[in-house]
Structure formats: C-alpha cells, structure tokens
C-alpha cells in the first residue's frame, strides 16, 4: 500500500509549516494545492484559485494519481477569519464570505476526497476547525458559525461512510501562532504552535484505523465563556 499526502491551503500560514513538517515524514507521494508558488523539495504543486468553485476543486483532484493500491491522507488548511463586529453589525457579505471560505471549501474538498479514496484503499481526512466554533465568543459570529458547521459536517461524513475505509476528523485550535496574531494577542502563551497541529495530524494519519469522528481541541483546557 502506498501512502499519499495531500495538502490544501499550502501557501497559508499553517500550510507552509505543514509542507516543511510532512516532507520529513514517510509518504510515497505528495500533492500540494496552493494559490501561490511554495518551495517544496519533492512532490507536485498545483496552483488553484477559488476553491468555492466546484469546477476548480474537481480539476485539482483530477491531478492526483489514482491507484487501487493508494491510501490518501488529506490535510485541509484552507480557511479565513473575520471578526470584530457583533451580529447586529455584521454585514451579510461578510457572513457569506466566512461560510464560503470555511464551510463551502471543506464541503467540496471532502466530496471529491471521498470519490478519490474509494478508487484506492481508502483515506483519512483532516480539516482545521476552531475552538470558537465549539465555545461561542462575542464578535466572531460569522467565523464561529462557519467553523461550527465544519464540526457538524465532520460527523455527517463519518456517518455516511461507515462501510468505507474512510475516516474524518477536525482539529480545533484556539489561536494559531503567526506573526500577525502575535501582534494582536497579549498573552503569547495562548497561541497554538503550528508544529503541534501538524504533529496531531500526523498522529491521526498514523492511527486512522481507530481515530475517527473527533473534534480535537487545542488547547483542551481553554474554554471561552
């Protein structure tokens, strides 16, 4: 069996860290999907725009080699953040943007991942959620609702694919460590290192037979009132 690693959102903050992390792991093939060029020492990188467009997502998956001997591990880091306004002040266009960039992209990627994995020996799918999608925070409605929907989608994907060798999990960090977030967050101890997220994703991939349908909170002790 060949293990194939697939990364969506390669040029993002977490995506770039994931490239470096997973290239040092033992996979038989690598596929990276990005809006921009990103350095990678092996594997194939494909540029793709607007993953809310189903045609674009289908064309991206068409680039991935299909084989009955392949097991596919996909990490979806695509997403965006919008906050700072309460619900009464949130523009509809901003609400729809969060739904599209977080939920619609995940739906389309998962949909095509199922088809891809069924052509081989199965697969393991991981999406990045958010802790505020579990514990509501004021002034983050559009973002938090879209991330909460991802958790629900994850559960549905598990329910619908019980008879296939497919697993679906979500990782829900609090605030991911980045240069931008370090300027915004006073307590840097609250920031979640990107490497911690990658390590957890790798653990899930390596134990896909028993890890399924979970929403992993990072940190688990952080609950926003």
pLDDT tens for residues 46-88? 999 999 999 999 999 999 999 999 999 999 999 998 888 999 9
Predicted confidence (pLDDT) at residue 34 exceeds the cutoff of 60: yes
Partner residues linked to 216 by β-bridges: 171
Give the mean pLDDT of 126-146.
94
pLDDT score for 84:
84
Nearest to 126 by CA among 183, 53, 203: 203
DSSP labels, 156-196:
HHHHHTTTTTEEEEEEEESEE--HHHHHH-S-GGGEEPHHH
81 vs 220, residue with greater confidence: 81
Give the mean pLDDT of 126-152.
94
pLDDT score for 223:
42
Instruction: Give this prediction's pTM.
Output: 0.93
CB contact at 8 A, 63 and 8: no
For tokens 């619900």, the residue is 87
Q: How far apart are CA 175 and CA 7, in angstroms?
A: 21
Nearest to 140 by CA among 224, 31, 29, 71: 224
Domains identified in the chain and CATH numbers? 2-218 (3.40.50.720)
For 148-199, write each residue's pLDDT tens digit.
Answer: 999 999 999 999 998 889 999 999 999 888 777 776 777 777 789 999 999 9
82 vs 133, residue with greater confidence: 133
Report the percent of the chain where pLDDT is more than 90. Answer: 84
Strand, helix or coil for residue 116: helix
Cα–Cα distances (Å) from 68 to 184, 201, 208, in that order, read: 47, 24, 18
The first and second tokens of residue 109, run together, are 């990627």
| Greatest distance between any 2 Cα atoms in the chain | 53
135-149 burial: b if 16+ Cβ within 10 Å, else e:
beeeebbbbbbbbbb
């Amino acid at each position: 069996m060949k293990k194939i690693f697939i990364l969506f959102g390669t040029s993002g903050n977490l995506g770039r860290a994931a490239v470096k992390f997973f290239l040092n792991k033992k996979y038989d093939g690598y596929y990276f999907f990005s809006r921009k060029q990103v350095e990678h020492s092996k594997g194939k990188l494909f540029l793709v725009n607007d993953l809310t467009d189903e045609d674009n997502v289908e064309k991206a998956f068409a680039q991935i080699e299909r084989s009955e001997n392949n097991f596919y591990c996909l990490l979806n880091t695509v997403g965006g953040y919008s906050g700072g306004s309460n619900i009464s002040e949130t523009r509809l266009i901003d609400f729809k943007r969060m739904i599209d960039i977080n939920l619609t992209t995940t739906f389309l990627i998962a949909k095509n991942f199922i088809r891809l994995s069924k052509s081989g020996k199965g697969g393991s799918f991981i999406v990045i959620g958010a802790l505020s999608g579990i514990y509501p925070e004021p002034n983050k409605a559009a973002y938090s609702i879209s991330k909460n929907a991802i958790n629900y989608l994850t559960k549905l994907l598990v329910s619908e694919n019980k008879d296939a060798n497919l697993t679906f999990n979500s990782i829900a960090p609090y605030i991911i460590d980045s240069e931008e977030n370090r300027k915004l967050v006073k307590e840097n101890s609250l920031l979640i290192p990107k490497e911690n997220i990658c390590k957890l994703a790798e653990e899930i991939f390596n134990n896909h037979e028993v890890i399924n349908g979970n929403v992993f909170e990072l940190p688990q002790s952080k609950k926003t009132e």
